Structure 1
């Protein structure tokens, strides 16, 4: 089918859904349906997955899609921005070379002037032994050299400055050229991909415009989440903006498209497995294989005349060469080629089940003219990406259609096909079952008489187009190796077993340059409050923290968060994955307006009958001072010892409490077996979802400090150790 016979519709990329790897693009096209119903939608990238193409007609018109397939064309490439950048780089390189040449000439001139020295005239016989030289001549020469060198060095400084500016411009131009979009080809003749769609039915009125939507998958797109948190210390509220760093090298620029971000795997199998049915009864004959028929009888006799003619053309040269080499000796004629008997129909291996590509479209059957198929039927991509090379086969019977193979995702298709062709086919029982490559009619190539063996006059899949597509896919997949930003986490690692989708609020532009670009998705509903935390037993410093609670219906994935407080950038922290309702703390740094002081006192004594129990009385004194102009809430954390001995007792003397999640509440408690009970949140035992985990024995004071106020906290605990449990010459106080 001639490419120019179909009506061409221009298409516009409307939306993109970026998955963990790869993307699903939506393209719109409008036009009037021709009489034959075949249209050619242009503008598709080279990394398109042929098995994921899906087409549908928008609106309530009576037109429907009956066939959709991918075809590759070659057309002249227009001069674009990449050519302009290349010309700019070449121009700057020439100017830099000229500037370097001028600088070298200036240096040579400076060396020449600096080498000027007075040369006395040759001495004569009648000259006195000592001649005098005028001082004025020496001074004039020195002044001339000094004045000349001053001007030359000034000119050299100007040349150095100009050369430095040109080298900077050249480096910028080379960087722009290296980051130029891959959507524009560098060759004069570029290969383009289009979708051939067959429409059936007629619209309501003659000449009505039909809107067509194409959906296809592409490789070479990744994304990681990022956040921007803005808050105010006085109000205690803020807003969390979800952003995403997107990188794509799909071969087309995403300009003004609706962007959605998903954590799902685009290559994950979504279809249900097919289970073979078991029937009790008489055996039924196997159904005829779809898209295959036996070779015609006498196929080997088709090339008998060709072989005989080739033998006559070679015989005179062979006889002459033999007579010249062996002398006057008669050379008998070569025997005529004996035709080989017809070959039995080959057996074909069955294709292995593979994941079905998303968005597969079903199409109509191809036309067969004189045993050669026309067109290509689009069907679900159920064939393997690297199916084994088929045995020789004939074109499909009319009315039979099969799935086209999906584009390659790795490995060499050509090497795999040649290796499979060289391997002998394993005999299978029953009728032959063609694979996906054998049913891809547009990729079948008729082998000519120069082929050897059983390949003559039979159809085999061609691998030239697959090799080209493989190169584009390999280049597109390089974005998966980009270094991640700091604190960034892959979506599949942070999403866990659940999949989420985030739709951007506005359209965005993402060029196909393979670098990270930031896209604003939208604002996320979260709860914020500012709290102050201190652990004076470790460090007598109060830290400001931001308590972040996820009040939205979606999970917040792990990623970097830029914290801005009162309009000033503070820091970039790593936000963990937050499920709906989960709470996490984000540190904001030391709070200079709040001071804390801690003093301890230890008193050792004995108690009990005959002083058999050692009592270690620990006293803790904590003072807090708030110099801020607003009231604050400070959480003071202490830790009491935890014992695993039944005879050693710890008695607390303070109004502190255990943390909210209960960690530390079970300190000192024992289970039914007498072993110490491990508090919730400890290593090896999960606490409630979203709760903060604390170490065993943690105690908390929560103090509300007014503006300019102070607070004093007193607490302590006693450790009672029996005499038999006391350590000799050891530290019994900790």
Structure 2
């Protein structure tokens, strides 16, 4: 019995979760379940990962999905297919080729005309010298010059037409390269569908909604921010925006977008811990889904072998070229896997049980294995094909139960080997998935998005997230075409605390800089990225926002503040102390004067620095009310000897800060002419 064609359901893309590289897409489809329970959900992209396909029925009751597999169909485009950029590129390419041909033919004619030269007749030995016909020479030269002038004039027109055609062709090719890939490539339309098997619907047809989830490569994102601040308010708005680029083969139109910093390809399975027992040795348990080969498998092809060898097929060029290093195309040396056989028909492919294929790499994967001869049973004789190597040449199978790989656990890709297979492969199931160059080309073009140059001051999320993973859900639906360029998506507003502070280091530069101290009041980290700062509804600058952990505070510089002035004055007094004056005392005085010319109060932080010594005989005594800053990590790390003054200045007020330190140097440690250096 053969199953009939599955009923087709159209699907719409509902949500996308963009990871550091790659995306997880979710499609919704609705329809009535046929009596056989087989439906085909269409609209999937050509770049999807077949091992990531998941499907479920929305709702708590009703049918459930028992099997899901990917099927690909290709068909030529009809004559009514719309002419897009690809047809325009092909037309302009023909125009460019025709213009180049005309230019080349004109160059050939110019070369022919330019090669015209007067050729005197041959003179015999006894003939006297003849007079040269100057008029004929001049007439020929005039003819050549006139023809070359006209040809060069026409050549200039042909070259101009060639440059125009080449420019139009390059522009169209660039538009095609930047256009969305959600269109059939070439003249063939490829349709990717998810074939689902549902049960529990009963005899009556019921309308259900199915969610199909799959992973695709070719999607990246980096965070960006927009900060709006009003002077004097002490509050602001920080809007998280993301620059998203994708070339997955389908346009994201009106979808719910979420952004995650995790690695989509990283395995997150729980490890299988084997129990350690004290006592007698026990054999390892075989996987629960493994079954021994059926009885009589060795004699399954007895009639086929008795019919004699098949007629030898002519050796084709590709078969002859497959012999490398003395290894025939149909075999492989010891220690290497043999070449995969041609894919078997759909009727010979392995079918899954009622539970469907287990998730690739999921928790249920170790509990299932290949069925019906995925690995030879211990002690079972392996059948041998005519002309196959002897059993002594075949390496024995490893002892113990079979250890299936993730590819062998993918039941949909298992192929039943025919009677022409060598060794122990006849009549058994193996994961020999054929290589599809078209799909490989789609995936290669999609993965090229990871090499896009980043926007200014942008940082990839995996670099700024550290050892934690975060997810940000966009507040509204968005559109991101599959063109491989950056698109801005607004995620939402983030509650942050803002405090305007002014910072200066007058010992280095007598300039006061305005900063905004941002405090992260959320439970998620704010990733590093560019932030557009707007002050009083006017764009100020684009700064680099560092990564803010939950509860952390970082400064964002806004540039010099012309309304706040600072002046630093220093003085030095040298004296001696001690019973015999054997200690040199260098007294350094520092005076910092601040003036607030703004119409609002400001908070100023003044940085100073005192000397640091490693000699225990040299003492440094501070005489100021400054404080030592708390040591931080990364950008918050201060230089040794840093001291800080913090004060609040009212509008139009001035203040003076006095401080200093003494350096006591023993006479034996003094340097002539060097002690007065600060």
TM-score category of the 2 structures, normalised to the smaller one: 0.7 to 0.9
Q: Shift of the alpha carbon at 1:622?
A: 2.6
SS in 2 for 1:555: coil
Equivalent of residue 598 in structure 2, options 628, 631, 640 = 628
SS in 2 for 1:252: coil
The equivalent of 2:627 in structure 1 is 658
Residues 374 and 430 of structure 2 are in contact (CA less than 8 Å); yes or no, is this contact kept in structure 1?
Answer: no
Residues 23 and 219 of structure 1 are in contact (CA less than 8 Å); yes or no, is this contact kept in structure 2?
Answer: yes
Equivalent of residue 380 in structure 1, options 316, 334, 359 = 359
| Structure 1 range deviating more: 550-559 or 706-715 | 706-715
Residues 370 and 409 of structure 2 are in contact (CA less than 8 Å); yes or no, is this contact kept in structure 1?
Answer: no
1:485 aligns with 2:455: yes
1:530 aligns with 2:531: no
Residues 299-319 of structure 1: per-residue CA shift (max 9 Å, x gap) = 4533345426749x99xxxxx
Q: Shift of the alpha carbon at 1:601?
A: 1.7
The equivalent of 1:705 in structure 2 is 649
Take 1:539 and 1:270, find their aligned partners in 2: how far apart are those partners?
52
Residues 350-404 of structure 1: per-residue CA shift (max 9 Å, x gap) = xxxxxxxxxxxxxxxxxxx9997446732121399xxxxx99975899xxxxxxx
The equivalent of 1:250 in structure 2 is 248
The equivalent of 1:43 in structure 2 is 43
Q: Shift of the alpha carbon at 1:165?
A: 8.4
Residues 155-192 of structure 1: per-residue CA shift (max 9 Å, x gap) = x9999999998877655433221112223231332333
Equivalent of residue 575 in structure 1, options 542, 545, 559 = 545
Equivalent of residue 267 in structure 1, options 242, 245, 265 = 265
Q: Shift of the alpha carbon at 1:28?
A: 0.7
Which residues of structure 1 form unaligned runs of 5+? Answer: 106-152, 315-347, 350-368, 385-389, 398-422, 663-679
Q: Shift of the alpha carbon at 1:7?
A: 0.6
Take 1:101 and 1:250, find their aligned partners in 2: how far apart are those partners?
39
The equivalent of 2:56 in structure 1 is 56
Q: Shift of the alpha carbon at 1:234?
A: 3.9
Equivalent of residue 658 in structure 2, options 691, 714, 723 = 714
Residues 289 and 433 of structure 1 are in contact (CA less than 8 Å); yes or no, is this contact kept in structure 2?
Answer: no
1:297 aligns with 2:298: yes
How is 1:324-473 mapped onto 2 (pairs within 5 angstroms)? 373-374=350-351, 377-382=356-361, 424-430=394-400, 435-438=405-408, 440=410, 442-447=412-417, 459-465=429-435, 469-473=439-443
Distance of aligned partners of 1:45 and 1:90 in 2 relative to their CA distance in 1, 3 Å threshold: closer
Take 1:537 and 1:80, find their aligned partners in 2: how far apart are those partners?
77
Take 1:168 and 1:466, find their aligned partners in 2: how far apart are those partners?
35
The equivalent of 1:551 in structure 2 is 521
Q: Shift of the alpha carbon at 1:259?
A: 0.7
Residues 419-454 of structure 1: per-residue CA shift (max 9 Å, x gap) = xxxx95442235656555455555344555665666
Distance of aligned partners of 1:175 and 1:602 in 2 relative to their CA distance in 1, 3 Å threshold: same
Residues 373 and 396 of structure 1 are in contact (CA less than 8 Å); yes or no, is this contact kept in structure 2?
Answer: no
Q: Shift of the alpha carbon at 1:521?
A: 0.8
The equivalent of 1:723 in structure 2 is 667
- The aligned length equals 586
Residues 392 and 458 of structure 1 are in contact (CA less than 8 Å); yes or no, is this contact kept in structure 2?
Answer: no
Q: Shift of the alpha carbon at 1:473?
A: 3.4
Take 2:170 and 2:347, find their aligned partners in 1: how far apart are those partners?
61
Residues 383 and 436 of structure 1 are in contact (CA less than 8 Å); yes or no, is this contact kept in structure 2?
Answer: no
Residues 419 and 426 of structure 2 are in contact (CA less than 8 Å); yes or no, is this contact kept in structure 1?
Answer: yes
Q: Shift of the alpha carbon at 1:605?
A: 1.9
Residues 523-565 of structure 1: per-residue CA shift (max 9 Å, x gap) = 1111112221111111111111111111122111112222222
Take 2:161 and 2:594, find their aligned partners in 1: how far apart are those partners?
63
Take 1:715 and 1:248, find their aligned partners in 2: how far apart are those partners?
58
Take 1:208 and 1:443, find their aligned partners in 2: how far apart are those partners?
31
Residues 392 and 460 of structure 1 are in contact (CA less than 8 Å); yes or no, is this contact kept in structure 2?
Answer: no
Take 1:542 and 1:503, find their aligned partners in 2: how far apart are those partners?
39
1:69 aligns with 2:69: yes
The equivalent of 2:342 in structure 1 is none
The equivalent of 2:308 in structure 1 is 307
Residues 645-664 of structure 1: per-residue CA shift (max 9 Å, x gap) = 4443333333x4214x43xx
Residues 291 and 370 of structure 2 are in contact (CA less than 8 Å); yes or no, is this contact kept in structure 1?
Answer: no
Residues 34 and 205 of structure 2 are in contact (CA less than 8 Å); yes or no, is this contact kept in structure 1?
Answer: no
Residues 82 and 184 of structure 1 are in contact (CA less than 8 Å); yes or no, is this contact kept in structure 2?
Answer: no
Residues 566-619 of structure 1: per-residue CA shift (max 9 Å, x gap) = 333332222221111111111111122222222222122223323222222222
Residues 30 and 211 of structure 1 are in contact (CA less than 8 Å); yes or no, is this contact kept in structure 2?
Answer: yes
The equivalent of 1:612 in structure 2 is 582
Take 1:704 and 1:158, find their aligned partners in 2: how far apart are those partners?
75
Residues 535 and 636 of structure 1 are in contact (CA less than 8 Å); yes or no, is this contact kept in structure 2?
Answer: yes
Residues 246 and 482 of structure 2 are in contact (CA less than 8 Å); yes or no, is this contact kept in structure 1?
Answer: yes
Take 2:661 and 2:613, find their aligned partners in 1: how far apart are those partners?
13
Distance of aligned partners of 1:27 and 1:572 in 2 relative to their CA distance in 1, 3 Å threshold: same
Residues 350 and 429 of structure 2 are in contact (CA less than 8 Å); yes or no, is this contact kept in structure 1?
Answer: no
Q: Shift of the alpha carbon at 1:471?
A: 4.2
Take 1:586 and 1:493, find their aligned partners in 2: how far apart are those partners?
20
Q: Shift of the alpha carbon at 1:49?
A: 2.7
Distance of aligned partners of 1:172 and 1:503 in 2 relative to their CA distance in 1, 3 Å threshold: same
Residues 606 and 612 of structure 1 are in contact (CA less than 8 Å); yes or no, is this contact kept in structure 2?
Answer: yes
Residues 31-70 of structure 1: per-residue CA shift (max 9 Å, x gap) = 0011111111111223323333222211244222222222
The equivalent of 1:181 in structure 2 is 180
The equivalent of 2:219 in structure 1 is 221
Distance of aligned partners of 1:534 and 1:440 in 2 relative to their CA distance in 1, 3 Å threshold: closer
Distance of aligned partners of 1:425 and 1:481 in 2 relative to their CA distance in 1, 3 Å threshold: farther
Residues 392 and 455 of structure 1 are in contact (CA less than 8 Å); yes or no, is this contact kept in structure 2?
Answer: no
Distance of aligned partners of 1:565 and 1:91 in 2 relative to their CA distance in 1, 3 Å threshold: farther
